[in-house]
Amino acid sequence: MMLLIAMIVVACGEKIEPGEETKTPVILKGVSVQTAREIEQPLVYEAVGTVVAGIRTQIGSKLMGTVEEIRVREGDQVKEGEVLVVLDARQVKAELGRADAGVMEAQKGLAAALSARESFRASERLAETTYQRFLNLKKEDSVSKQEFDEVEARYRQAAAARKEADAMVDAATARVSQAEAGVSTARVSTDDAIIRAPHAGVITGKFVDKGDLARPGTQLLTLETTAGFCVDVIVPETYVRFVEPGARVTVEVPALGSTPMEGKICTLVPRVDPGSRSFIFKVNLAQSGKVTSGLFARVKIPIGVTRQIFLPSAAVYRSGQLTGVYSVDENHVVHFRLVRLGKQYGDQYEVLSGLKPGDRYVAQDVPALKDGARVEGPP
């Protein structure tokens, strides 16, 4: 009887209550497990900038005139010396005609002055010859003092008249030169009525139409080169020590795709904006036919190196707003652990917190994986 009671007590002690079930851990085989370790990674600062043309020319007019013809439109490719705009040249042609007439008048005045000078020179030579003869006669006492004084006076008057004629020739010559300069200026103005491209490039701006009045200094067109683009970058003053002319940097232009381009820092503006505490530098871009001015760009500036843990993207699990990994303990049991991720580098994520060197984690995407499962590595 006592044996029967003992068996009943044991049986009652092992009874499974309603609603309970035995928990058998899930075992997953062939799962890749890795150990977290720090990796040296270049540290960069990502600055933003704008693509600008290497040469950007604002084309204007040097004279006032009505626009007669515009031979280009925005987007047109032009060659150096190609005619872009033609202005009404009637006024400058009239100025050229007046300048030519002034040259002719000045030349006539010069001719008259030269003729008069020759006449005065002849009179001076005759007066000088007479003076020398009377001077010899005076030495021989063969001429009276009054006669000699009269001859000497005529000689000195002739010499003075010749000098005055020389001055008149010089003045007439100067007037000719001035008139010829006026002709040259008028001819330049005539040439300025035809506005040509100062260099090859593409028309990126048009601010005038046929019939408009062009004034000196007024912008008519914008011409940009199709090569030699650069990026104007604005960076906080904290990073000025990392910007060195000649250093190579990586440039990304999102509008042109994800392929980065190589750039070289060419200019550092030696002035910090006191308002924003920032400075500007320029980066020359490798030549590309797709680059145009005005595009948004990112420039990655190396600022040192850092040691950081990185996770493969396959090891990252997301549950709603939570991001984590499955860590593996010494018994090969996995536990979901929250992590905070930083930047992504290719298929690797920077780990800011939640994982330390030496921790083991599941390094692949396993759909059946859940907290408390046991994992075994590949055979």
pLDDT digit string, tens, across residues 106-146? 788 888 888 888 888 888 888 888 888 888 887 887 788 88
Regarding whether 218 and 69 lie in a shared domain, the answer is yes
Domain membership flag for residue 8: no
Res 8: pLDDT = 33
Q: Which of 305, 325, 359 is the last residue of a domain?
A: 305
Regarding whether 301 and 241 lie in a shared domain, the answer is yes
Regarding whether 162 and 102 lie in a shared domain, the answer is yes
Q: What is the DSSP letter of 333?
A: B
Q: What is the mean pLDDT of residues 271-276?
A: 82
Residue with tokens 């490798």: 286
**Contact by Cβ (8 Å): 327, 339:** no
Regarding whether 186 and 94 lie in a shared domain, the answer is yes
Domain membership flag for residue 330: yes
Report the run of H or E that residue 280 belongs to, with start and end: strand 278-285
| Tokens, residue 124 | 């001076």
pLDDT digit string, tens, across residues 150-208? 888 888 888 888 888 888 888 888 888 887 777 676 666 667 778 888 888 888 888 98
What are the φ/ψ torsions at residue 305 (nearest 5 degrees)? Answer: -135, 155
Asked if pLDDT for residue 9 goes beyond 50, the answer is no
Regarding whether 202 and 81 lie in a shared domain, the answer is yes
Asked if pLDDT for residue 14 goes beyond 50, the answer is no
Res 186: pLDDT = 62
Dihedral sign of CA atoms 78, 83, 87, 92 in order: positive
Q: What is the mean pLDDT of residues 319-331?
A: 89
Res 21: pLDDT = 45
Residue with tokens 């536990």: 335
| Tokens, residue 96 | 């050229």
For residues 84 and 193, what is the distance between their CA atoms, to the nearest angstrom? 11
Q: Is 64 helix (H, G, I), strand (E, B) or coil?
A: coil
Res 123: pLDDT = 83
Number of independent structural domains in the chain: 4
| Tokens, residue 195 | 């506005």
Q: How confident is the model at residue 96 (pLDDT cuts 50, 70, 90)?
A: low
For residues 312 and 127, what is the distance between their CA atoms, to the nearest angstrom? 115
Determine the Cα angle at 257 with ends 251 and 262, to 5°: 25
Q: How confident is the model at residue 16 (pLDDT cuts 50, 70, 90)?
A: very low
What is the CATH number for 202? 2.40.50.100
**Contact by Cβ (8 Å): 354, 340:** yes
Regarding whether 233 and 208 lie in a shared domain, the answer is no
Res 325: pLDDT = 92
| Tokens, residue 164 | 């005055």
Regarding whether 263 and 206 lie in a shared domain, the answer is no
Res 185: pLDDT = 67
What is the CATH number for 321? 2.40.420.20
Regarding whether 351 and 211 lie in a shared domain, the answer is no
Domain membership flag for residue 9: no
Res 15: pLDDT = 44
What are the φ/ψ torsions at residue 168 (nearest 5 degrees)? Answer: -65, -40
Across the chain, mean pLDDT equals: 81
Q: What is the mean pLDDT of residues 83-105?
A: 75
Q: What is the DSSP letter of 289?
A: T
| Domain boundaries, position 269 | 45-54+225-305
Q: Which of 305, 338, 367 is the last residue of a domain?
A: 305
Domain membership flag for residue 153: yes
Domain membership flag for residue 10: no
Domain membership flag for residue 257: yes
Regarding whether 291 and 266 lie in a shared domain, the answer is yes
331, 334, 340, 342: CA torsion to nearest 10: 90
Regarding whether 218 and 74 lie in a shared domain, the answer is yes
Regarding whether 211 and 74 lie in a shared domain, the answer is yes
Q: How confident is the model at residue 13 (pLDDT cuts 50, 70, 90)?
A: very low
Regarding whether 69 and 217 lie in a shared domain, the answer is yes
What is the CATH number for 140? 1.20.120
